[in-house]
Structure 1
Amino acid sequence: MANERQTFYVHFPELSIPAPLSVLGGTLREVGFEEYAPLDNDWASERYYRAHQRVFWVVDTMGRSDLADFRVAVESGDLDRVRHWYREQEDYPDELLDSVTERAELLHLAIVCASAELLVSPSLSMLYRTPASGGVSRRVGLAHRTWVLALQDSIRISAESLAAAAEMVSRWVAAGLESDHVLLGPLRTVSSVAGGALSAGAIVTLLVVALESSLNFGGTDGKRARPIAADIRERMIAAGSADIGSRMKPLYAHRSDFLHGRREPLPLEADIVLLVSLLTASVASRTLALQQPEGEGLGA
């Protein structure tokens, strides 16, 4: 199968940005309805789409093209060729698609970290792929086209947060981090509770558990956790929360009540905001080690 230029459109749910951002070889930008409609013409709804311009990470790249072969096989009515095409999909994983989706998820986690916002993973939404030879293939996430077409509020990310995310994700890629790396675990938790499917009680419980894991990172001796805890303490004091114990104690009590099925008062939105900010701060602090000289970083 020949290589050809292909364009990927990866949807970033609920995201709103002030300007396009060039990052990881692509551009995070708004895609207008005229550009979007040919990607999904059976579903495209101008009424819903125009209400909130959707943000996609758009990547032009070279890679193996299989759509042209499939289209020729179908149009010719050659069933043996069609079966051969499907066998090749099983025998040869689509490394280009895997690479694009992995980079998109890593970029998503960096935006979560830099903005401290509850943002839905692009893996749950839509990805469109358009080879130069024509045609469109789609990867449909668990949420189908909900965040592409449904009327909804968006989360505005500042230019400063986007710039910080771009710097952060470039550093992660240079260090060889992937989206499932243990260092990024707190961000995956923050992302997993976004989208409105969980109750406030469940969200706070999961975030508290993630914070516990974050502060125990590196083993029971706590050598790696201590500077992270100190950084979190400084951030809370700077935010006007000098009495850290009075903020955290009821949240830990809520976690226990929720896990053991006891009745508990509903947590406040401010509690969720606090926990998200602490978790994202812990990852920002930990991944700063990626900038340190060899022997002083993550493996030390």
Structure 2
Amino acid sequence: MIIVQAIDALREELKSWRKTGETIAFVPTMGNLHAGHIALVKRAQELGSKVVVSIFVNPTQFDRKEDLAAYPRTLAEDCAKLQAGGADLVFTPTPALMYPGGGLATKVEVPGVSELLEGASRPGHFTGVSTVVCKLFHLVQPDVAVFGEKDFQQLMLIRQMVRDLDMDILIEGLPTVREADGLAMSSRNGYLTTAERKIAPGFHLTLGEVVDALHKGRQDYAALQAEAAQTLVALGFRPDYVEIRRALDLLPPAANDTDLVILGSAWLGKARLIDNIPLTLKKLTETS
């Protein structure tokens, strides 16, 4: 496995691959890798003949300086996992390399989807995400890029950016990888104490209760959202939001919408957890 930090070295290696007809699959990460990230690498191996992984803790997508400072940097351990997982190249740029002027000068913004839910809770977050992913796409020029569906809104934003800018990149979403008790794998799960880790699966279970209620025919969306938030508070969470949205555009659903997604964010101690569950409701059929 090749590890490069310099942009020139990255481009030189990628150029040699393209000359021999290799197809490039890309997995952008912020490091502190877990089994969910390795699942993305495994999927990338199925989609391309060479797999590039980036590890970059992107400062422009953090809305709180203390969160950026506390984010774990585990480069040596990450590279060992990626080598075992079959990655071909790891790109490890520094903030100074990615942002030579010290911050965002040219910005890539995706209006609409970036202003909802996570965007409303974390001002500026998605501008940082779309800008850095756009820059990484420009540097790597992959044939396909693989992202986890746990970050449902982020995946939607990236797909829209690729469409709007006519990027010739296939965006592949991988279903959320979970622990045995249902908790979505996340680098931030390491912030949980032993006691909080026992409570954490209740987040996914609570979203699942909303899904069950929808399948049983309830359409009082506001009440369902409020009940879920109350359940989370009772369990010891500090909910940020629980929302029932259309899977197509994350707007509030109408009565006849069937493709939905339940999205939630909640604090548990120092960890801010996010999760989602997509679902398709059965269409109401007319009876004669």
TM bin (shorter chain): under 0.3
* Rg comparison, structure with higher value: 1
Between the two structures, name the one with larger relative contact order (CA 8 Å, sep ≥ 6): 1
**TM-score where L is the length of structure 2:** 0.27
**TM-score where L is the length of structure 1:** 0.26
**More strand as a share of residues:** 2
